[in-house]
Structure 1
């Protein structure tokens, strides 16, 4: 193994282990209120509901979000350069499905993956297309391809389902405590301190774990994007541009330097840390996989024709 691949490999292993630990932590936090309410069967039922919701959510909500956002499906003749770029990224990522690129007429700078590696796509906004150069956009698209490649939408759907169910179960526990309050005041029951601690901290802990998982998957997608493009500077430059435009609301609220504690409440890691990690990646990987992509100029990516919205019924259709 070339020494240049050691650092990315170790980072990916570390991030994967962190993902397993965080998912285990979410399951444990969920299991506690489930056990308090129904014992062992409560744990099994809670985890079963999470799996069912995650599997169902990976099919419907992504397409529903696209329809609600007024997004349209870009055909190849409408964005030929972008599709050539995606063809290369999909091939390097080992994705056998043909790429699908969606366009949302929003001024915000955003891109996101929808669906799974077998039936998914990538959505980009008008603001992103007008702001980033083709080289920067290559890094962003590679980042989203990585999310599809590793099934991050399904992982995050499962984490979100765990957090919501933890909140619902602790709400039931709160109602139970209120119903037991007369007996506690009458001295017939002792105050259940353990139950109070679960009700107080479980929802917050589950939310923090979910946010930590999101940041972990973003770090992993960054590293994987570099392996697909061989160009860490392109993605780092795009992240700086996104931070310049999207970080302004924090500066408005908290001044030029937002409190460091806010990092725990982010769905995405701090941009400076992401850029630092990207620039620390060794730039001598295997040429067959990482040689620079062609056609990466400084001009913005061109969309020859912008599509109309797909309509609210699009989400019920599967890819042909």
Structure 2
């Protein structure tokens, strides 16, 4: 996503913030809301990544505390020609991951323990390559700021019920206040969702090029999607404005590819990745990963350096489905 689209989205969010302020407090309310929105944009630019990581109680890991996972991200960052991001782990049984940060120099990637313990190495590589693609495309700034502003719009809309409008607009009344409470957060969510689905497709494609294995990411998406429907993510349920940041929607009952979904349907994403794989491999498939097979255990072994951006494993051979040994599969 380029800076022009980022600016348009932030302008739309700011305008919506001001419009809600006008409906609640007239011209003075609009001015106050716009000032608050500008301050929140500035605050979110510098602090939203830390806020989101704090929401999910993410803990930072390094080459000493999680050598296998940290090394995997380091290899992929080199493939993508990106600075090494900060790496976090979230103690949550639902397999999922997201990236955050205002630019590639200040980026962070986070994965849940559920993802690290239930996916194969190839699948984890695909997921983390997808997140690094968000960093490379500079999606992370818009993801974190919109999450902050969407939540703020929801809170501002709730004030309508208590204040009911100003003398400038003759008051909203109960019906008008309820309408703002419902419609303002909905409008904010639609602004997020309008770009979220196309952004995910772009990150899928670049992530597959970074890892060199579209099928690994496709398999991961299927596995995560299936488990996310069964395993609740209470932290995400309590912060629904951040749902669009994850590789798969962490909220229950949000799987359809429609106007109100934060992500494309998994089936559509898998189909696009398999089409990409066919192009990369000249129509030949990787023999390494079959969809819907039982979850493979992560074994200890020796990991080599991954392929460059856009490359694929030679002769269709599967790369090792393991991480270097030492302190358990992902460190402690």
Question: With structure 1 as the length reference, what TM-score do the two structures score?
Answer: 0.68
Does residue 239 of structure 1 match 2:221?
Answer: yes
Q: Contact between 2:60 and 2:86, CA under 8 Å: does it hold in 1?
A: no
Q: Contact between 1:46 and 1:165, CA under 8 Å: does it hold in 2?
A: no
Q: For residues 141 and 175 of structure 1, do their structure 2 counterparts lie closer, same or farther at Cα, with a shift above 3 Å needed? A: same
> Of the candidates 224, 229, 236, which is equivalent to residue 211 of structure 2?
229
Unpaired segments ≥5 residues, structure 2: 233-252, 283-306
2:98 match: 112
State the Cα RMSD in Å. Answer: 4.0
> Of the candidates 290, 293, 303, which is equivalent to residue 310 of structure 2?
290
Q: 1:146-190, CA deviations, whole angstroms, 9 ceiling, x for partnerless residues? A: 22223433312221232233233333344332787xxx9xxxx58
Write the distance in 2 (CA, Å) between the matches of 1:22 and 1:90.
28
Indicate the SS of the match to 1:290. Answer: coil
Write the distance in 1 (CA, Å) between the matches of 2:171 and 2:71.
68
2:125 match: 138
Indicate the SS of the match to 2:74. Answer: helix
Write the distance in 1 (CA, Å) between the matches of 2:154 and 2:137.
27
Write the distance in 1 (CA, Å) between the matches of 2:255 and 2:82.
38
Q: Contact between 1:74 and 1:103, CA under 8 Å: does it hold in 2?
A: no
Instruction: Tell me which structure has the larger Cα radius of gyration.
Output: 1
1:74 match: 62
> Of the candidates 196, 201, 204, which is equivalent to residue 186 of structure 2?
204
Write the distance in 2 (CA, Å) between the matches of 1:175 and 1:241.
45
Does residue 129 of structure 1 match 2:136?
Answer: no
What is the Cα deviation at residue 191 of structure 1? 7.1
Write the distance in 2 (CA, Å) between the matches of 1:94 and 1:121.
15
Write the distance in 1 (CA, Å) between the matches of 2:212 and 2:269.
16
Write the distance in 2 (CA, Å) between the matches of 1:161 and 1:104.
20
Q: Contact between 1:57 and 1:157, CA under 8 Å: does it hold in 2?
A: no
Write the distance in 1 (CA, Å) between the matches of 2:227 and 2:311.
30
Unpaired segments ≥5 residues, structure 1: 1-11, 251-257, 309-320
Greater displacement, 261-270 / 50-59: 261-270
1:301 match: 323
Indicate the SS of the match to 1:301. Answer: strand
Write the distance in 1 (CA, Å) between the matches of 2:266 and 2:184.
29
Indicate the SS of the match to 2:109. Answer: strand
Write the distance in 2 (CA, Å) between the matches of 1:300 and 1:54.
38
1:314 match: none
What is the Cα deviation at residue 77 of structure 1? 8.4
What is the Cα deviation at residue 195 of structure 1? 6.0
**Alignment length (residue pairs):** 276
Q: Contact between 1:143 and 1:224, CA under 8 Å: does it hold in 2?
A: yes
> Of the candidates 247, 271, 274, which is equivalent to residue 269 of structure 2?
274
Indicate the SS of the match to 1:146. Answer: helix
Q: How does 1:168-207 map to 2 (within 5 A)?
A: 168-177=155-164, 198=180, 200-207=182-189
2:153 match: 166
What is the Cα deviation at residue 143 of structure 1? 0.8
Question: With structure 2 as the length reference, what TM-score do the two structures score?
Answer: 0.66
Structure with the bigger percentage of helix = 1
What is the Cα deviation at residue 264 of structure 1? 4.4
